[in-house]
């Protein structure tokens, strides 16, 4: 007897969105979180365009937009010429400044609305899996506990017990530098306004707090695990900016490093990893939380399909096949960005690295280069192409074509189909496909996955073929409940 169908370790953004996605499909989910309560601290501060799009695919983007602040550009390696998100093919061409604590609050509300059970103070210690399920062992408020689930997903961070217990390797590089962040209740806002451009990141937070992020040339080799003192932070800030900005009453001081690792496999039998459990890196350009949300969006509907019994063979294996390369892209580009920062702080490299940064900055003036990096950081360029397939297959459905009405297609987590006889086709896969009217340009039929990526298309110059259509849909949405309409 299973205690739950899917157990998730970790109630951060990735675990919460995954839990909601599974529950949307009717799966029984329990999230186990080692913290006794949500701590309210926010390492991440941004949601990028693709994350806003996937939230809109489920009809909940407005909840996040109502609490955040949008800006149309972002940065790459802190270069002066910023990435222009507003020029991208999306109605959400901006970064949304929204503290992680608020993002988690909204995702938890969503998960609970859908019936997800969230157990705080429950730490996963080990696991054992067999052909039928996974036995999870841990420690809770009342002592040791054991739980039986059909599947287990580790969303429990870079030191993931789930990943370690499942024997999934986590190769990569140890940290070579560290930076510090501090959230302060008291600052001199006039000094901040007059400071202009400084080598210090300054961001207003809710509750009257202000965040500063600093990297000290003298202290950047300090291990990330070493605690930060107020005196150290104030001295570093003064050395870099020429003023302490009157900081006082620190509410949170933390150090973080550039250790970079990527899970060898995102799946081991009935165990999966996602978010920071699958990839860690320096928070260059704010991609970590966003990548985790997109992991969850990719895995959720596939795992639900397997549990509900209609998943085509091999569907679960596409999670690693699709998301591992994305993890590689993120860890690679964040390492490149970090190196451009790190070496400017090393005297013997300062001059050549400054020249390199100036060269890259000039390249960002070119629209094609800017759009290429903007697509990478925003994740709008993420595609899961099929070998020798149509270039549209695997790409996200163009958001401007989809529109707010089109997004309702997959609000319930189904596939979307538009084309000839859409209603009859949807009836053939009842409960798995929603019929639509909108089609991308030069396309006569399209099947959109629950995560908003295109699974199959028929172009205008291709003749209709009912057998081909049924085979293509079956490859993703499983066998029809009855013979599809010819």
Tens digits of per-residue pLDDT, 303-321?
999 999 999 999 999 999 9
Residue 486's pLDDT is what? 44
**Lookup: tokens for 341:** 């920062």
Give the whole-angstrom CA distance, residue 57 versus residue 144: 39
Domains of the chain: residue spans and CATH: 4-173+260-351 (3.50.50.60), 178-257 (3.30.70.2450), 399-477 (3.40.30.120)
Give the whole-angstrom CA distance, residue 231 versus residue 327: 37
pLDDT averaged over the chain?
93
Residue 484's pLDDT is what? 45
DSSP reduced 3-state for 394? coil
Q: What pLDDT band is residue 407 in, cutting at 50, 70 and 90?
A: low
Q: Which residues contact 168 (CB under 8 A, 6 or more apart)?
A: 263, 264, 265, 268, 271, 273
Q: What pLDDT band is residue 436 in, cutting at 50, 70 and 90?
A: confident
Residue 405's pLDDT is what? 52
Residue 1's pLDDT is what? 73
Report helix angle 49-57 to 288-308, nearest 10: 30
Alpha helices by DSSP H, listed for 283-421, are 288-308, 317-342, 347-363, 367-378, 399-407
What average pLDDT does range 6-22 have in this prediction?
A: 98
Q: Which residues contact 175 (CB under 8 A, 6 or more apart)?
A: 223, 224, 257, 258, 259
Give the whole-angstrom CA distance, residue 33 versus residue 51: 23
Of 380, 398, 292, 481, which Cα lies nearest the Cα of 74? 380
Partners of residue 447 on adjacent β-strands: 417, 456
Strands 201-204 vs 69-71: parallel, antiparallel or unpaired = unpaired
* Cβ burial 378-408 (10 Å sphere, 16+ → b, else e): bbbbbbbeeeeebebbbbbbbbeebeeebbb
Q: Which of 144-148, 357-361, 367-371, 422-426 has the lowest mean pLDDT?
A: 422-426
Backbone angles phi, psi at 232, to 5 degrees: -60, -45
Does the structure show a pLDDT above 60 at 483? no
Does the structure show a pLDDT above 90 at 406? no
Does the structure show a pLDDT above 90 at 275? yes
Q: What pLDDT band is residue 397 in, cutting at 50, 70 and 90?
A: confident
pLDDT in tens, 293-303: 999 999 999 99
pTM: 0.95
Q: What pLDDT band is residue 399 in, cutting at 50, 70 and 90?
A: low
Q: Which has more confidence, 459 or 402? A: 459
pLDDT in tens, 95-122: 999 999 999 999 999 999 999 999 999 9
pLDDT in tens, 122-167: 999 999 999 999 999 999 999 999 999 999 999 999 999 999 999 9
**Lookup: tokens for 210:** 């202000």
pLDDT in tens, 324-341: 999 999 999 999 999 999
């Amino acid at each position: 007897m299973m205690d739950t169908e899917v157990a998730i370790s970790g109630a951060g953004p990735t675990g919460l969105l995954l839990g909601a996605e599974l529950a949307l499909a009717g799966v029984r989910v329990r999230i186990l979180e080692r913290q006794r309560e949500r701590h309210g601290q926010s390492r991440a501060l941004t949601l990028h365009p693709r994350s806003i799009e996937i939230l809109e695919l489920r009809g909940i983007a407005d909840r996040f937009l109502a609490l955040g602040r949008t800006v149309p550009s972002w940065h790459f390696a802190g270069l002066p010429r910023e990435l222009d998100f507003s020029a991208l093919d999306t109605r959400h061409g901006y970064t949304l400044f929204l503290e992680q604590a608020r993002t988690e609050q909204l995702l938890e509300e969503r998960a609970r609305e859908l019936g997800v059970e969230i157990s705080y103070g429950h730490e996963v210690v080990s696991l054992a899996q067999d052909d039928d399920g996974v036995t999870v062992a841990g420690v809770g408020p009342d002592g040791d506990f054991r739980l039986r689930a059909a599947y287990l997903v580790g969303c429990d961070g870079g030191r993931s017990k789930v990943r370690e217990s499942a024997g999934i390797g986590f190769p990569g590089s140890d940290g070579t530098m560290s930076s510090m962040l501090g959230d302060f209740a008291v600052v001199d806002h006039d000094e901040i306004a007059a400071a202009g451009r400084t080598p210090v990141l300054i961001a207003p937070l809710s509750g009257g707090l202000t965040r500063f992020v600093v990297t000290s040339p003298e202290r950047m080799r300090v291990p990330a695990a070493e605690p930060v003192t107020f005196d150290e932070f104030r001295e570093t800030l003064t050395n870099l900016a020429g003023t302490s900005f009157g900081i006082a009453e620190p509410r949170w001081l933390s150090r973080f490093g550039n250790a970079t690792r990527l899970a060898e496999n995102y799946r081991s039998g009935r165990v999966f990893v996602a978010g920071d459990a699958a990839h860690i890196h320096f928070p260059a350009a704010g991609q970590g939380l966003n990548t985790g949300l997109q992991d969850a969006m990719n895995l959720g509907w596939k795992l639900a399909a397997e549990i509900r019994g209609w998943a085509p063979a091999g569907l679960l294996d596409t999670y690693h096949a699709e998301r591992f390369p994305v993890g590689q892209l993120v860890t690679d580009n964040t390492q490149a960005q970090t190196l451009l920062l790190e070496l400017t702080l090393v005297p013997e490299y300062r001059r050549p690295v400054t020249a390199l940064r100036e060269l890259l900055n000039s390249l960002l003036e070119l629209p094609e280069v800017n759009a290429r990096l903007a697509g990478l950081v925003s994740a709008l360029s993420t595609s899961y192409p099929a070998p020798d397939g149509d270039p549209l297959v695997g790409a996200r459905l163009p958001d401007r074509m989809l529109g707010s009405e089109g997004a309702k297609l997959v609000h319930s987590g189904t596939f979307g189909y538009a084309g000839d006889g859409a209603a009859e086709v949807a009836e053939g896969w009842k409960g798995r496909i929603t019929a639509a009217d909108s089609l991308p340009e030069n396309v006569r039929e399209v099947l959109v996955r629950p995560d908003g990526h295109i699974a199959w298309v028929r172009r205008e110059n291709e003749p209709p073929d009912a057998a081909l259509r049924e085979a293509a849909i079956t490859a993703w949405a499983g066998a029809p409940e009855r013979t599809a309409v010819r």
